[in-house]
Amino acid sequence: MVKGFSDNDLKNEAEIKESKKEKKGLAAFLKGKKFTYTLPGKKQINIFGSLVIGLNIILVLLVILYLKNQAFHDFVFNVGR
Query: What is the pTM for the complete model shown?
Result: 0.53
Angle formed at CA 35 by CA 32 and CA 41, multiple of 5 degrees? 170
Domain boundaries, the chain: 40-81
Question: Which residue did the predictor score with more confidence, 28 or 41?
Answer: 41
For residue range 41-81, what is the model confidence (pLDDT) as tens digits?
999 999 999 999 999 999 999 999 999 999 999 999 999 87
How confident is the model at residue 47, as a pLDDT?
97
* CA separation for the pair 11, 5 (Å, rounded): 11
Query: Is residue 23 scored above 80 in pLDDT?
Result: no
